[in-house]
Amino acid sequence: MIKSATNTTAITLSFIRWEFLKTLFSFQNYIAVFVSLCVAWLMVNGMINTVAQNGLIIEANPFILPFLATLLPYAVFLALAVAVSLAREIENRTFEVLFFAPIRFSSFVLGRFLGQLTYYLLALPLVLVFFIGYANSVNLRVGPGFLGAIVLSPFTVASVVGFGFLIAAYLRKTRITVVVLLALILLLLGVQFAHVLLPTLQPAEADTTLLVLTDVVDVMYRVVEWISPFAYLTKGVDAAQFGAPELYARVVLASLAYTILTLALSVWVLREKGISR
Partner 1 sequence: MKRRCFMVCYLLVFLFVGVSPTMAETPTLEQQLVYALEVYDGVGYTSNFAPANEETIYLLADHSNAFSPRNTMVYYWAITRSYKADWDELNEPVESATLEILQGQTLIQELPPTLFSIVLPEGHGSRKSYLLWGADAERGYPGFLEEFREYYIQIRDYQNAYQEYQTAYDEYQDAMLDETIVEKPNAPVRPVEPPPFLKVVIPPSFGFQVNLPEGDYRIRLKDLDGQIIPDSEKKIVVFSHRRTGIGYKIIPESRWTVPERSDDPQQTIYVMGGSNAAIYLQPFYEAEYNEAYYRGLLDTQDHSGAADRWAWAHMEPFYQATMTMSSENSTGELEMTGEKPFFVVQMPGPRLGYQVVEYDPATMGGQRPTFVGFEVGLERDDRKVTIGLVDQDGVVVEGSEREIRWVPEKRPVIQYLWLSFPLLVGLIVFVLRRSRTKRS
Interface residues with partner 1 (CB under 8 A) are: 24-25, 27, 29-31, 33-34, 37-38, 41, 45, 48, 51-52, 55-62, 123, 126, 129-130, 133-134, 137-141, 143-145, 195, 199, 206, 211, 214, 218, 225, 235, 241-242
Nearer of residues 184 and 244 to partner 1, judged by Cβ: 244
Sign of CA dihedral 94, 97, 101, 103: positive
Q: What distance in Å separates the CA atoms of residue 142 and residue 9, rounded to the nearest whole number?
A: 39
Q: How far is the CB of 159 from partner 1 (least distance, A)?
A: 19
Helix or strand (DSSP H, E) at 88: helix 64-91
Min CB(206)–partner 1 separation in Å: 6
For the CB of residue 169, give the shortest distance to partner 1 in the complex, in Å.
Answer: 31
Cβ-count burial of 21 within 10 angstroms (0-12 exposed, 13-18 middle, 19+ buried)? exposed
The dihedral built from the CA positions of residue 193, 199, 200 and 202, taken in this order, carries a sign that is positive
In 3-state terms, what secondary structure has residue 103?
A: coil
The closest of 205, 193, 189 to 76, measured between CA atoms, is 189
* CB nearer to partner 1: pick between 137 and 276: 137
C-beta of 92 vs 136, nearer to partner 1: 136
Between 109 and 252, CB nearer to partner 1:
252
Q: Could you tell me which of 66, 69, 238 has the C-alpha nearest to residue 138?
A: 66
Q: How far is the CB of 79 from partner 1 (least distance, A)?
A: 21
Residue 153 C-beta: closest distance to partner 1, Å = 16
Which CB, 64 or 185, lies closer to partner 1? 64
